[in-house]
Amino acid sequence: MHALIVVAHPDRDSFTHAVARAVTDEICAPHTFDVADLLAEGFDPRYGAADLALFRHRAAPPADVLAEQQRIDRADALVLVYPVYWWSFPGVLKGWIDRVFTHGWAYDEMPDGKINKKLGRLQVHLLGVGGGNLRTYARRGYYAAMRTQIDEGIFDYVGASVRSSELILLPEADTPEAHLETARLTGRRLFAG
């Protein structure tokens, strides 16, 4: 089985990248993985005229979008590792989803208004890295809002199964190592069972 690990942080020495490495360290043969470092690879998150033409069925997918869709097509599991910016994804990751999870590939809207969810085979694991504490996220309803927006609003809409959704909050642990163990556990669970 194959996993696509998507990382959205500009600093390769960041804790976000350390979390991604902890996940990949646990993926053992015969399983494989690919890492999509969106910023290092220069992915353009801007939804432009070519993306709109695709949505309107007037053009084929732009080459960069098609390449990302093919990466996902090769994967059995998708792992998103990202810092929490303003209670959500960083812009590059949101733009990746906006541009890549397209109508016709990730879902189809039927004439009767029903949605044909096309990514039902895909397992999703989310690892958000935040700087606040759990009390803040809970008190303000941010954690529930993020789960609604991301887990349900994006992945349920396209039929992908969110197998785990972890919020790693650095102020909550005695050491960052405790959170890296959460990431390693995610890596071990990717293809277990």
| Residue 182 pLDDT | 87
Q: Which of 168, 136, 169, 163 is nearest to 151 (CA)?
A: 163
What is the rounded distance in angstroms from the CA atom of residue 43 to the CA atom of residue 65? 9
Total domains, the chain: 1
3-state secondary structure the chain: CEEEEEECCCCCCCHHHHHHHHHHHCCCCCCEEEEEECCCCCCCCCCCHHHHHHHCCCCCCCHHHHHHHHHHHCCCEEEEEEECECCECCHHHHHHHHHHCCECCCEEECCCCCEEECCCCCEEEEEEEECCCHHHHHHHCHHHHHHHHHHHHHHHHHCCEEEEEEEEEHHHCCCHHHHHHHHHHHHHHCCCC
Per-residue model confidence as pLDDT tens digits over 33-88: 999 999 999 999 999 999 999 999 999 999 999 999 999 999 999 999 999 998 88
Supply the CATH number for residue 15's domain. Answer: 3.40.50.360
Q: Say whether the peptide bond before residue 45 is cis (omega within 30 degrees of 0).
A: no
Other C-beta atoms within 10 Å of 64: how many? 16
Give the confidence band of 5 by pLDDT, cuts at 50, 70, 90: very high
What is the rounded distance in angstroms from the CA atom of residue 125 to the CA atom of residue 32? 16
| Residue 173 pLDDT | 61
Give the global pTM: 0.93
Q: Is the pLDDT of residue 27 over 80?
A: yes
Is residue 100 within 8 Å of residue 65, measured between CB atoms?
Answer: yes
Give the confidence band of 18 by pLDDT, cuts at 50, 70, 90: very high
Per-residue model confidence as pLDDT tens digits over 116-138: 999 999 999 999 998 878 888 88
Residue-range definition of the domain harbouring residue 185: 2-189
| Residue 155 pLDDT | 97
- Overall average pLDDT of the 13-23 stretch: 95
Per-residue model confidence as pLDDT tens digits over 143-185: 888 888 999 999 999 999 999 998 888 766 667 787 888 889 8
What is the rounded distance in angstroms from the CA atom of residue 189 to the CA atom of residue 125? 10
